[in-house]
């Protein structure tokens, strides 16, 4: 909130509104006239946020949409500029803790992994239909998994006998395919593969690149773009986008976080899932007019 600086009568976009906790804080800090546009691909999240934020009435507009279309979402309520935009990337705790979403290898559930469970291909589709090489490439690229080829080979071998349907089925195949020493490491051996499949199912890096371009385009003079990432590939996309703008148009853009902001030791202890979070902040310099708009 200190970086975003919500205030009345600003317009703020929470591109990953989730259950509405951060959105509610933005609305409180921007009272009495600040407005909040909340976007989330997950219809369940939007339903929770609507209930939580209903007391704020017309100050809130929520949309079940991919944040890569932030510009078109804003146009639906006739807004061209935002004074602050937030991306809190990755999967939410609420999604992780629901076995039916298929995002966790800790509980049994269907191999779904879609952020919006009403459309698109599932993780089950990927693990049971992709060629071995393509599957290995996904696990290596998005999961940075050193045993990607062994895991892909094991998945293909098992699915020839019977399709993989559940998270525990897949987790078991992964565990049995990697060296014994790897099974007792700090991370569960299925962690990186599950992460990679989720990112592929939801085209997370592609959506992020497009979403950043659109967010940058609608950011008002003096406005700030805050991005919290939990994965090195995501952080790299954000860092490169911010550095590119600051280099090409230093009179227009300022990177406020020379190094990403990480959670304190106290926060990591209280909320272990925050341990890998990195926050980067970009500001469009005050006084930069519409006639001088740059491009992402």
Distance CA 232, CA 140 (A): 13
Which residue is listed with tokens 């500029």? 81
pTM reported for the whole predicted model? 0.90
Q: Is the pLDDT of residue 53 over 50?
A: yes
- How much is the mean pLDDT over the chain? 92
- Please give the share of the chain, as a percent, with pLDDT higher than 70: 97
Bigger pLDDT: 289 vs 66: 66
Q: What are the start-end ranges of the H helices in 130-231?
A: 132-143, 148-161, 167-177, 180-183, 191-201, 204-218
pLDDT digits (tens, 9 = 90+) for 260-278: 999 999 999 998 888 889 9
pLDDT digits (tens, 9 = 90+) for 133-149: 999 999 999 999 999 99
Quick check: 145 and 192 in contact, CB under 8 A? yes
Q: Is the pLDDT of residue 121 over 90?
A: yes
Which helix or strand (DSSP H or E) is residue 83 part of? strand 82-88
Q: Is the pLDDT of residue 196 over 50?
A: yes
Task: Please state the rounded mean pLDDT for residues 280-289.
Answer: 87
Write out the two tokens for 25: 């804080």
pLDDT digits (tens, 9 = 90+) for 8-40: 999 999 999 999 999 999 999 999 999 999 999
User: 184: burial class by Cβ within 10 Å (0-12, 13-18, 19+)?
Assistant: exposed
- Strands 60-64 and 82-88 turn out to be unpaired
Instruction: Strand 11-14: give its sheet, edge to edge.
Output: 60-64, 35-40, 11-14, 82-88, 219-229, 278-284, 253-255
Distance CA 84, CA 31 (A): 15
Write out the two tokens for 157: 């071998």
pLDDT digits (tens, 9 = 90+) for 220-241: 999 999 999 998 999 999 999 9
């Amino acid at each position: 909130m200190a970086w975003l600086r919500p205030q009345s009568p600003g317009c703020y976009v929470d591109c990953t509104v989730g259950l509405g906790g951060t959105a509610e804080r933005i609305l409180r800090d921007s009272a009495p006239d600040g407005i909040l546009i909340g976007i989330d691909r997950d219809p369940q999240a939007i339903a929770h946020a609507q209930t939580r934020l209903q007391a704020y009435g017309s100050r809130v507009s929520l949309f079940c949409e991919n944040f890569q279309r932030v510009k078109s979402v804003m146009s639906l309520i006739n807004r061209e500029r935002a004074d602050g935009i937030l991306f809190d990337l990755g999967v939410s705790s609420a999604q992780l803790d629901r076995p039916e979403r298929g995002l966790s290898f800790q509980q049994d559930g269907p191999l779904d992994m879609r952020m919006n469970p009403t459309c698109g291909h599932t993780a089950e589709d990927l693990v049971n239909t992709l060629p071995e090489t393509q599957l290995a490439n996904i696990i290596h690229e998005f999961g940075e998994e050193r045993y990607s080829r062994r895991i892909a080979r094991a998945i293909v071998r098992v699915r020839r006998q019977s399709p993989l349907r559940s998270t525990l089925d897949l987790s078991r195949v992964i565990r049995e395919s990697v060296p014994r020493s790897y099974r007792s490491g700090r991370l569960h051996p299925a962690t990186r593969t599950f992460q990679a499949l989720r990112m592929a199912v939801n085209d997370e890096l592609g959506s992020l690149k497009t979403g950043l371009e659109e967010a940058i385009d609608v950011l008002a003079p003096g406005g700030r773009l805050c991005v919290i990432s939990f994965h090195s590939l995501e952080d790299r996309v954000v860092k490169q986008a911010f550095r590119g703008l600051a280099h090409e148009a230093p009179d227009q853009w300022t990177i406020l976080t020379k190094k990403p902001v990480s959670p304190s030791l106290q926060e990591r202890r209280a909320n272990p899932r925050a341990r890998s979070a990195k926050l980067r902040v970009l500001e469009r310099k005050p006084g930069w007019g519409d006639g001088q708009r740059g491009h992402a």
